[in-house]
Structure 1
Amino acid sequence: MIKRIWNLGGQQRWRTYIQVLCQWLSEMLVVTVLTAGAGRAISGSWSTPLLICICIQFIVSFTYLMVGAPILSDRWASAASKDLQHQFFKYYLKQASTDTTKMMKILHQDLGTIKRIAVFYDTIIPTSLQLIMTGIVMVVTILFIHPLTVLIPLLGIFALGGGMGLLEGLGDKKNFAYIASFNHMGQRFLDDFFGMNSLIMYQRQEQYAADFAEDSENFRQKTMGVLVYQLQTLTIMDLCLYGALGWFVVAQGMAVAAGTLNIMSAVLISSLVSLWLIDFRKFGYFIHIFMSTLPKVKHIFELIDYDTNQTSSASVDLKKAPRFVKLDGSVGYADRNILSNVTIDLEIGHVVGLAGPSGSGKSTIARTLMKQLPMTSGSITVDNTNLTALTRQSWWRFVAYLGPESVLFDGSIEDNLLFGVHTDINWERQLKEMNLCQFVQDLPDRFETVVGENGARLSPGQRQQIAIARAILANKQVYIFDEITSNIDVDNARQILRVIKQLAQSKITMLITHRLDDIEQLDEVYLVDNGRLVHGTPVELANKVVAFKQLIDEQNQLLKEVRA
């Protein structure tokens, strides 16, 4: 797994190598200055080779600080995080569920891990490379000047390894217990947050509070256990490293007193050992943090690998925009069919409606068309290509799905509108021609208006208009609109339907809806009725399906009463 982490963001690795070399020369500048100063104190003159080394190291250090640091620091970590995020989101987007709660749980558990993995690239690798370089210089120098004392720092490291080995089993148990408690606590918070109304409705607040307090105490204990373990490891680390350093300095002092070692040599090897052991302590601290993150990183890689194995058979890349989509077969899940032996034809020219009661399978059809669920039998054909042969990335270049709860990103209206735009277009003119998002003209900052978190500063209808405009500006070829008018006011719903009908003149368009106003304006509707799919115009469906006719009559009667 370490090799796999190492390979992430590999295109930026060279920057870290240069950064490490510059930082190492900066650290070695201290050693060189101390050694030169000791020589000056003994002989009364400066060593020319050491002065040249000081000048070179100073120039490199100054240049790195002023010029190199901004273009070298954290580049590998940033590239690696982006690589892992890209792989992770590819996995998540291919899952069958589009439930917001599930999305929050996944992000809660895994995205924090991806951020924390940066410590491997910006601290552990640089420190490790510096340790190797300093260690080589230290060992060679000590062997040349005072050979026996080279054993002292090495014994300190061996002692540290032994102490950490004794705690390793305890550390694994503490970390896994903490992770389990953390995930459980987060899961409870999310579940209770989204179910708060139910808790209040059924008067379960007191039980909720007691359960939450119990979980909080368990989490506190697990957290304290991890902190105690960390303090134990730091204590062992400090005892071994600083003990070795003190022992080494005493040995050098005794050698100087005995006349077997001059002060300049003692300062040189003592400063090298000090630098090496201090870097080792830094390495030990951060490697502990990294190791505690590894179980979560392993979990992310397992998800990514599972997804890769499941989708490796899809290899065809869709080259041109499709003109026709046909679903023919059964849809559902591995353990059951939702709809059997159904046929849906989608083509350019008009909006195809899909209607039916909640839970009848409409969204299952949408997820199947989006390649988020496989057909339980039969196939989906895109022009003359089976959808199973297409890669998801290829298919999603041409298809867009929009549901009733669209997500807006914190930023301006313009930022959200142009989220999927990759070419120069006159987007404001395009929106004006569709009479879409024209409410923006009444806002003080117009398209620069900040929408807030998930569009909190806008009305539901305005948020949905922006989401639809964003999808249209992305210029997809296939659009699946799923209950997008269900939670907004009548005026916005009618405007959105006009835009969809206009869009269908040049795009493949499906509208999933239960609103009678929407259904009556469509030329072709597929109606889910008791596990079967009935096809026709709204008038034809009213004649074929008794329940649909009753629904129309009831809604018309209700409208008459309201208007009266």
Structure 2
Amino acid sequence: MFDKRLIKEIPEAKAYVKRQVLCQWIALIMNIIFTVGLSYTLVLLFQEQLTIEILMIGIVFAIILFVIRGIVLKKATQFSFAGASLVKKILRERLFKKILELGGHYQDYVATSELVQLGGEGINQLETYFALYLPQLFYSVLAPVTLFIIISFYDFMSALVLFLCVPMIPLSIVLIQKIAKKLLAKYWNSYTTLGDSFLENLQGLTTLKIYQSDEFKQKEMNKEAENFRKVTMRVLIMQLNSISVMDIVAYGGAGLGSYFAITHYMYQEISLFIALFIILLSFEFFIPLRQLGSFFHIAMNGIAASEKLFRVFDIEHQQSGKFDFKEGDFGLCVDQLSFQYTKEQPLLKEVSFQIKPNQFVGIVGESGSGKSTIAKLIMGYHQDYQGEIRIQTHQRYDIDDTVFFNHFVYMTHDPMIFKGTLRENIDMLNQYQDKEIWEALEKVNLASFFHQHNGLQTLLLESGSNLSGGQKQRLNLARAILKNGDVYIFDEATSNIDVESENAILEVIKDLSKEKTILFITHRLSSVIDCDDILVMKQGELIEQGTHQQLKAQNGVYAQMFTKQAKLEVYQG
């Protein structure tokens, strides 16, 4: 089981594989020399000619051989580790570069959970493929050939019998591989399916709890986990059965070779020394391939992982942005925009609107109405939409992502806070002065809080667990302020936070709207009263548009939602 493309894709690993095989071959030569000495010693013992002097010389000689063998096997392990580390580094770099090449819309081609699994477990499987299986594969060919050449000088027939029995092991492996190929495909499909469900349910755990659907999803995941367990057990059973088959072949072949050697000795065709030499070395013919068979499941998993990895590497980037922005204002035109993950479930249906430079536009609607989908399409997270998203004179997918992100800032309700200092979180590229950072923190009402602690060296825990939800969101807003973009997209930036934080964020957004283009997405209608234009979404369609006063006067969906929310807020005090 040998994938030529894997070797071609990582030519740097060849040198480490060759060195590892060479070290294993030298260790085999040491074994052969030791067997010669042991056979000679046993013959002398049988003939009652063994002396203390000869025995001591033999022991010293054996120690030297074992030391050399130990050194080369240690070097083989070192080459294995170095080669595996190199493979892992190269593959992860290539995978990361491919994701960067695909840009924010990589999800059009491959699921995030699959990328996570490939980057972790998948590449680890390929690491062991290069570190263990591949060197053993080449050594398993070299070792029997070496032994055949040496033994044939003493007893050609016994050497030939042993050599002809060796291919029985790879033949059994090929037969098992045909059975196992579909099984391993099921294993990886089950693995990725379970990973998809786990990631999706984990991300939506709060929503599942709110709608009391967590028990249903738990049962669904239990079924997938049970399916994965059954497939894993079948893989393990197959592996154990394959080992049993190889053991039968190995012991049978060694026994047959020994039988021929003993028969030739009884007919005085060879000496006792040669007979002992062949018997002691007979199993050495099969040990390398027997060891290769134990790595069989590693190879199968490695090949299965490589196929998935190569599918990602082979993705052709359909549209690659090349255009830059012209100096000037940043307007946005959305025309007949439609989008769906599946034909049966359209998320947007022919949505059209225009955002003028320095305009403050709000998008409102119930959950699932398509508000956030619009933001994600503008940000370039998906390119397989119908219609147009034009910025200045270019389609969104024709604009270089690096250029785009220099001018557009996207802020969601779930900020990413890393474990580290405040400065490391707010200024990751170390490009702002302390004064600028404190000014941004002052605007979001966080300066006094961090002054009371350790200033910019205040340690933040993973996911900002030592901050409140509102503080994390305000910290995220401080990042956005420092970025100083031309267009700001706030996607539910004020949801699930305290009133103090919400008011602080709204004040900053209103202040930014005086000189920046703002797209403000929210489910809370009281937050968009001051917007220059409000878009009302329902089931993927733009059903109403206008200012707060205009929409109230229409007495339509917006007016009903606004009245309903106002009554609810009064009721909640």
Give the TM-score normalised by the residue count of structure 1. 0.74
> Who is 1:76 aligned against?
87
Distance (Å, rounded) in 2 between the aligned partners of 1:507 and 1:137: 76
> Who is 1:460 aligned against?
469
Q: Does the 8 Å CA contact 2:162/2:257 hold for their aligned counterparts?
A: yes
| Structure 1 stretches lacking a partner, 5+ long | none
Q: Does the 8 Å CA contact 2:161/2:257 hold for their aligned counterparts?
A: yes
Amino acid at match of 2:536: V
Measured at CA, do residues 520 and 208 of structure 1 come closer, stay the same or move farther in structure 2, by a change above 3 Å? closer
SS of residue paired to 1:496 = helix
Distance (Å, rounded) in 2 between the aligned partners of 1:476 and 1:251: 84
> Who is 2:459 aligned against?
449
SS of residue paired to 1:434 = helix
Q: Does the 8 Å CA contact 2:337/2:349 hold for their aligned counterparts?
A: yes
Q: Deviations over 1:258-316 (max 9, x none)?
A: 47468599759965x655632322222223333156446535544664xx34x324352
Moved more, 485-494 or 389-398: 389-398
Measured at CA, do residues 505 and 22 of structure 1 come closer, stay the same or move farther in structure 2, by a change above 3 Å? farther
Measured at CA, do residues 179 and 367 of structure 1 come closer, stay the same or move farther in structure 2, by a change above 3 Å? same
Amino acid at match of 2:168: A
SS of residue paired to 1:381 = strand
One of 439, 442, 454 as aligned partner of 1:433: 439
> Who is 2:307 aligned against?
298
> Who is 2:132 aligned against?
123
Q: Does the 8 Å CA contact 1:326/1:381 hold for their aligned counterparts?
A: yes
Amino acid at match of 2:253: A
Measured at CA, do residues 54 and 474 of structure 1 come closer, stay the same or move farther in structure 2, by a change above 3 Å? farther
Measured at CA, do residues 285 and 370 of structure 1 come closer, stay the same or move farther in structure 2, by a change above 3 Å? same
Moved more, 281-290 or 354-363: 354-363
Q: Does the 8 Å CA contact 2:35/2:280 hold for their aligned counterparts?
A: no
> Who is 1:13 aligned against?
13
Distance (Å, rounded) in 2 between the aligned partners of 1:428 and 1:11: 47
Distance (Å, rounded) in 1 between the aligned partners of 2:526 and 2:391: 30
SS of residue paired to 1:514 = coil
One of 478, 494, 500 as aligned partner of 2:503: 494
Q: Does the 8 Å CA contact 2:143/2:285 hold for their aligned counterparts?
A: yes
> Who is 1:388 aligned against?
397
Distance (Å, rounded) in 2 between the aligned partners of 1:433 and 1:89: 33
Amino acid at match of 1:6: I
SS of residue paired to 2:295 = helix
Give the TM-score normalised by the residue count of structure 2. 0.73
1:343 correspondence with 2:344: no
| Distance apart, 1:176 and its partner CA | 5.0
1:528 correspondence with 2:536: yes
Distance (Å, rounded) in 2 between the aligned partners of 1:355 and 1:216: 39
Q: Deviations over 1:46-69 (max 9, x none)?
A: 99xx99x97996797499489877
| Distance apart, 1:457 and its partner CA | 4.5
| Distance apart, 1:74 and its partner CA | 2.4
Distance (Å, rounded) in 2 between the aligned partners of 1:374 and 1:402: 20
Distance (Å, rounded) in 2 between the aligned partners of 1:204 and 1:67: 48
| Distance apart, 1:492 and its partner CA | 1.6
SS of residue paired to 1:94 = helix
> Who is 2:48 aligned against?
none
1:331 correspondence with 2:337: yes
Distance (Å, rounded) in 2 between the aligned partners of 1:290 and 1:26: 25
Amino acid at match of 1:425: Q
Measured at CA, do residues 97 and 181 of structure 1 come closer, stay the same or move farther in structure 2, by a change above 3 Å? closer
Amino acid at match of 2:533: V
Instruction: Using the aligned pairs only, state the percent identity.
Output: 20
Measured at CA, do residues 173 and 540 of structure 1 come closer, stay the same or move farther in structure 2, by a change above 3 Å? closer
Measured at CA, do residues 5 and 494 of structure 1 come closer, stay the same or move farther in structure 2, by a change above 3 Å? farther
Measured at CA, do residues 125 and 172 of structure 1 come closer, stay the same or move farther in structure 2, by a change above 3 Å? closer
Q: Does the 8 Å CA contact 1:408/1:416 hold for their aligned counterparts?
A: no
Measured at CA, do residues 289 and 351 of structure 1 come closer, stay the same or move farther in structure 2, by a change above 3 Å? same
1:284 correspondence with 2:288: no
Distance (Å, rounded) in 2 between the aligned partners of 1:427 and 1:269: 78
| Distance apart, 1:488 and its partner CA | 0.9
Measured at CA, do residues 402 and 237 of structure 1 come closer, stay the same or move farther in structure 2, by a change above 3 Å? farther
Q: Deviations over 1:369-396 (max 9, x none)?
A: 1223447554223444332334657655
Q: Does the 8 Å CA contact 1:368/1:374 hold for their aligned counterparts?
A: yes
Q: Does the 8 Å CA contact 1:29/1:54 hold for their aligned counterparts?
A: no
Q: Does the 8 Å CA contact 2:337/2:388 hold for their aligned counterparts?
A: no
Amino acid at match of 1:528: V
> Who is 1:236 aligned against?
245
Measured at CA, do residues 123 and 183 of structure 1 come closer, stay the same or move farther in structure 2, by a change above 3 Å? same
Distance (Å, rounded) in 2 between the aligned partners of 1:91 and 1:343: 28
> Who is 1:158 aligned against?
167
Distance (Å, rounded) in 2 between the aligned partners of 1:27 and 1:320: 68
| Distance apart, 1:94 and its partner CA | 2.1
| Structure 2 stretches lacking a partner, 5+ long | 45-52
In our comparison, the structure showing a higher alpha carbon Rg is: 2
Q: Any residues of structure 2 matched to 1:32-431 within 5 Å, and which? A: 34=34, 37=37, 61=72, 64=75, 72-84=83-95, 87=98, 93-94=104-105, 107=116, 112-144=121-153, 146-172=155-181, 174-175=183-184, 178=187, 221-248=230-257, 251=260, 258=268, 260=270, 263=273, 277-292=286-301, 294-295=303-304, 297-299=306-308, 301-302=310-311, 305=314, 308-309=315-316, 311-314=317-320, 316=322, 318=324, 324-333=330-339, 335=343, 338-340=348-350, 342-345=352-355, 347=357, 349=358, 351-374=360-383, 377-390=386-399, 395=404, 399-408=408-417, 411-412=419-420, 414=422, 417=425, 421=428, 423-426=429-432, 428-431=434-437
Q: Does the 8 Å CA contact 1:406/1:467 hold for their aligned counterparts?
A: yes
Amino acid at match of 2:87: W
Distance (Å, rounded) in 2 between the aligned partners of 1:339 and 1:404: 25
Amino acid at match of 1:488: I
Amino acid at match of 2:16: T
Q: Deviations over 1:508-547 (max 9, x none)?
A: 543222334532454x334226644766655565556755
Measured at CA, do residues 148 and 106 of structure 1 come closer, stay the same or move farther in structure 2, by a change above 3 Å? same
Distance (Å, rounded) in 1 between the aligned partners of 2:319 and 2:451: 49
